[in-house]
């Protein structure tokens, strides 16, 4: 790699680390501002003042905020998120299992949505300004405008309740056969696919159409090359940078934006885990989930940025 490229990548990594540090401060501060008393929530309304005072001391709630933040963040860097207040379970172990389920769901949603979005984008370019292009764009806008919970409940009603083709509760567990897992996540994958499909498809279309305005594309047309050959051989390779960028950003959404989908289908992932413990005011779990989600999203954004720089020669040499 050239020195300008290495410098650019180092800058992106440093910016990502600084952003993660800032987000961790916001997560910690936000959870501290939540209404109610953690000790009171754990012991109940009948707890004596002495018991509440002892629990606050044991939890470190009497320490200054900066001390509590540093203790929490430094332990989180080593993978130690402590124990859940509601059930005493190790948060890191629970997060590992839940994160594996969320990544499983996001992976299969990506397997379906990414090739489909790129194929539809290429098809729209091939028939630009025609009937097929308008239909694809219209369906894409319609899917984007509908909220995920609405799409989820509509699909659940028709395919799980009326037709009974799939189950409405996406339960997966360790040791479950792959075929049964895939059958259980059909509806969540469909909802996530519809959520990200239009954005990736429209960006693919826009990126290729932008390249199609270049002089070398006109030269290829004058040489008599067919439209498909021009798109696949000349336009697509030179439009990869923005396409890779938007794909990476949507992959980040598939991991971080699954909260609503997991709650709708009672899927045992990170989103469901977070919502369950928000209701219990289990602050350590909420902090851990928030930090993991932030790390994934910032990390995927950094990868998208770096991939865009590597794929685009003009960004490697800004001068």
Q: DSSP letters of 111-142?
A: HHHHHHHHHHHHHHHHTTTSHHHHHHHHHHHH
* pLDDT single digits (tens) 140-156: 888 878 888 898 899 99
Q: Does residue 67 register a pLDDT over 60?
A: yes
DSSP 63: S
Do 200 and 114 touch, CB atoms closer than 8 A?
Answer: yes
CA separation, residue 22 to residues 122, 163, 247, 295 (Å): 39, 48, 26, 11
Do 128 and 213 touch, CB atoms closer than 8 A?
Answer: no
Percent of the chain exceeding pLDDT 90 equals: 13
Look-up of token digits 């410098």: 7
Q: Where are the domains of the chain?
A: 79-316
Percent of the chain exceeding pLDDT 70 equals: 90
Where is pLDDT greater, at 307 or 202? 202
- Please, which pLDDT band fits residue 38 given cuts at 50, 70 and 90? low
Q: Does residue 319 register a pLDDT over 60?
A: no
* pLDDT single digits (tens) 287-305: 899 999 999 888 888 888 7
* Dist. CA 196–CA 246, nearest whole Å: 10
For CA atoms 178, 180, 184, 190, the dihedral sign is positive
The CATH class, in words, for 79-316 is mainly alpha
What would the mean pLDDT of 264-268 be, rounded to a whole number?
90
* pLDDT single digits (tens) 244-260: 878 888 888 888 878 88
Do 156 and 168 touch, CB atoms closer than 8 A?
Answer: yes
Q: The whole model's pTM is what?
A: 0.81
What would the mean pLDDT of 126-134 be, rounded to a whole number?
84
Closest CA relative to residue 196, chosen from 257, 135, 155, 239:
257
Residues 6+ apart with CB under 8 A from 182: 108
Q: Does residue 278 register a pLDDT over 60?
A: yes
Residue 37 has what pLDDT?
64
Residue 248 has what pLDDT?
82
What would the mean pLDDT of 82-91 be, rounded to a whole number?
82
Long-range contacts of 25-29 (CB under 8 A, 24+ apart): 25/69, 27/287, 27/290, 27/291, 27/294, 28/65, 28/68, 28/69, 28/72, 28/73, 28/287, 29/65
- Please, which pLDDT band fits residue 318 given cuts at 50, 70 and 90? low
Residue 191 has what pLDDT?
92
Give residue 97's Cα distance to chain centre.
17
Mean pLDDT of the chain: 82
* pLDDT single digits (tens) 100-113: 999 999 999 999 99
* pLDDT single digits (tens) 234-244: 677 777 777 88
- Please, which pLDDT band fits residue 54 given cuts at 50, 70 and 90? confident
Residue 35 has what pLDDT?
64
Do 260 and 271 touch, CB atoms closer than 8 A?
Answer: yes
Do 293 and 275 touch, CB atoms closer than 8 A?
Answer: no
Closest CA relative to residue 113, chosen from 44, 201, 177:
201
* Dist. CA 168–CA 160, nearest whole Å: 5
Strand locations in 178-240 (E): none
Torsional class of 90: left (φ above 0), alpha (ψ -120 to 50), beta (otherwise)? beta
* Dist. CA 103–CA 258, nearest whole Å: 10
Where is pLDDT greater, at 128 or 192? 192
Residues 6+ apart with CB under 8 A from 57: none
- Please, which pLDDT band fits residue 313 given cuts at 50, 70 and 90? low
């Amino acid at each position: 790699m050239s020195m300008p490229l290495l410098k650019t990548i180092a800058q992106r990594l440093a910016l990502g680390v600084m952003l993660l540090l800032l987000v961790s401060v916001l997560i910690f501060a936000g959870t501290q501002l939540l209404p109610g008393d953690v000790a009171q929530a754990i012991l109940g309304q009948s707890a004596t003042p002495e018991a509440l005072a002892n629990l606050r001391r044991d939890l470190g709630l009497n320490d200054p905020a900066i001390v509590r933040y540093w203790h929490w963040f430094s332990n989180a860097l080593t993978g130690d998120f402590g124990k859940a207040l509601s059930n005493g379970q190790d948060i890191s172990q629970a997060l590992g299992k839940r994160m594996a389920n969320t990544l499983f769901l996001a992976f299969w949603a990506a397997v379906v949505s990414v090739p489909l979005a790129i194929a539809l984008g290429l098809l729209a370019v091939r028939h630009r300004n025609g009937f097929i292009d308008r239909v694809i764009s219209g369906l894409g806008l319609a899917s984007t405008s509908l909220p995920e919970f609405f799409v989820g409940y509509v699909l659940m009603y028709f395919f799980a309740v009326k037709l009974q083709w799939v189950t409405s509760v996406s339960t997966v567990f360790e040791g479950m056969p792959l075929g049964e897992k895939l059958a259980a996540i059909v509806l969540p994958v469909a909802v996530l696919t519809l959520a990200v499909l239009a954005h990736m498809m429209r960006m693919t279309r826009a990126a290729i159409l932008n390249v199609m305005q270049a002089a070398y594309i006109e030269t290829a047309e004058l040489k008599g090359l067919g439209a498909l050959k021009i798109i696949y051989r000349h336009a697509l390779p030179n439009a990869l940078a923005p396409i890779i960028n938007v794909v990476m950003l949507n992959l980040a959404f598939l991991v971080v934006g699954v909260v609503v989908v997991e709650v709708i289908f009672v899927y045992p992932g990170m989103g469901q885990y977070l919502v369950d413990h928000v209701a219990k005011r289990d602050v350590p779990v909420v902090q851990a989930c928030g930090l993991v989600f932030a790390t994934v999203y910032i990390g995927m954004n950094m990868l998208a940025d770096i991939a865009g720089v590597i794929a685009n020669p003009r960004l490697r040499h800004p001068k």
